[in-house]
């Protein structure tokens, strides 16, 4: 309906129809009803297969490591304060990029948490991060052993059960959650 209203207003702006005709046409249209966003996953495109999500961030981190290494090679001949500052600032950057690439490579078989957001305006963005299920399970196990009250132990046990359910769900097929609100939508999935 929104498109029809815009067409009528455009025709009026162009002078194709009079103001009275535009009023009549607009009155004949049903009241505005928000059109729902298309359903997922088709509206969002295909979900990446398990084991593919790590490739793009890994390539970015390897590229950043390479840039840092080249910059270090270039500045190694620099002397004085400027050379020292360049090397001092570039080493941590290069080291962090290399560590990031290593962590991403090691998590390539792990499930990834993907979040896709679409705003009312149609703008879309997304991000993906490795889902640290094993690390969280270990932390919950240690926390449960050290919890002093029975209530805290019960809450931690419930969190462990929920985590086990997530792990079981992602081993067969992706866990998918769609949320629509105020004309926008969010899709969260774990695979």
Q: What was the pLDDT predicted at 62?
A: 96
Provide the token pair at 126. 């997304």
Q: What is the pTM of this model?
A: 0.52
Residue 136 counted as domain residue: no
Q: What was the pLDDT predicted at 16?
A: 85
More confident residue, 116 or 172: 116
111-143 pLDDT, tens digit each: 777 777 877 777 887 777 777 777 777 787 888
Q: Do 40 and 72 meet the contact criterion of CB atoms below 8 Å apart?
A: no
Residue 190 counted as domain residue: no
Q: Do 108 and 65 meet the contact criterion of CB atoms below 8 Å apart?
A: no
Q: Are residues 68 and 102 in the same domain?
A: yes
Q: How far apart are CA 191 and CA 175, in angstroms?
A: 7
Q: What was the pLDDT predicted at 148?
A: 82
Our count of domains for the chain comes to: 2
More confident residue, 56 or 168: 56
Residue 68 counted as domain residue: yes
pLDDT at 44 over 60: no
- Could you tell me the pLDDT band of residue 38, with boundaries at 50, 70 and 90? very low
Q: Are residues 58 and 22 in the same domain?
A: no
Q: What was the pLDDT predicted at 111?
A: 75
Q: Do 112 and 130 meet the contact criterion of CB atoms below 8 Å apart?
A: yes
Helices (H), the chain: 2-14, 19-28, 55-75, 80-106, 133-146, 150-172
pLDDT at 97 over 90: yes
Mean pLDDT of the chain, nearest integer: 77
Q: What was the pLDDT predicted at 171?
A: 55
Residue 101 counted as domain residue: yes
Q: Which of 32-46, 90-104, 144-158 has the lowest mean pLDDT?
A: 32-46
User: Cis peptide leading into 41, omega within 30 of 0?
Assistant: yes
- The three-point CA angle 31-33-38 to 5° equals 155
Provide the token pair at 168. 């079981």
Q: Are residues 22 and 57 in the same domain?
A: no
Range of the domain at 64: 53-109
The mean pLDDT value for 28-53 works out to 58
- Could you tell me the pLDDT band of residue 17, with boundaries at 50, 70 and 90? confident
pLDDT at 34 over 60: no
Residue 114 counted as domain residue: no
Residue 172 counted as domain residue: no
More confident residue, 4 or 91: 91
- Could you tell me the pLDDT band of residue 175, with boundaries at 50, 70 and 90? low
Residue 144 counted as domain residue: no
Q: Are residues 104 and 57 in the same domain?
A: yes
Q: What was the pLDDT predicted at 170?
A: 55
Residue 96 counted as domain residue: yes
């Amino acid at each position: 309906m929104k498109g029809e209203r815009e067409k009528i207003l455009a025709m009026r702006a162009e002078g194709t129809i009079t103001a009275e005709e535009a009023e009549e046409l607009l009155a004949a249209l049903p009241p505005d009803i928000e059109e729902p966003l298309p359903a997922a996953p088709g509206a969002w495109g295909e979900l990446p297969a398990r084991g593919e999500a790590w490739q793009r961030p890994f390539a970015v981190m390897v590229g950043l490591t390479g840039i840092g290494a080249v910059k270090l090679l270039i500045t190694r001949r620099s002397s004085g304060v400027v050379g020292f500052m360049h090397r001092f600032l570039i080493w941590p950057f290069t080291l962090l990029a290399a560590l990031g690439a290593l962590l991403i490579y090691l998590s390539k078989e792990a499930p990834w948490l993907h979040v896709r957001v679409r705003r009312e305006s149609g703008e879309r963005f997304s991000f993906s991060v490795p889902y640290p299920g094993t690390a969280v399970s270990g932390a919950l196990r240690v926390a449960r052993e050290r919890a002093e009250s029975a209530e805290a132990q019960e809450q931690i046990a419930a969190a462990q059960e929920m985590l086990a359910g997530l792990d079981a769900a992602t081993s067969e097929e992706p866990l998918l959650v769609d949320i629509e609100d105020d004309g926008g939508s969010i899709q969260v999935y774990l695979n």
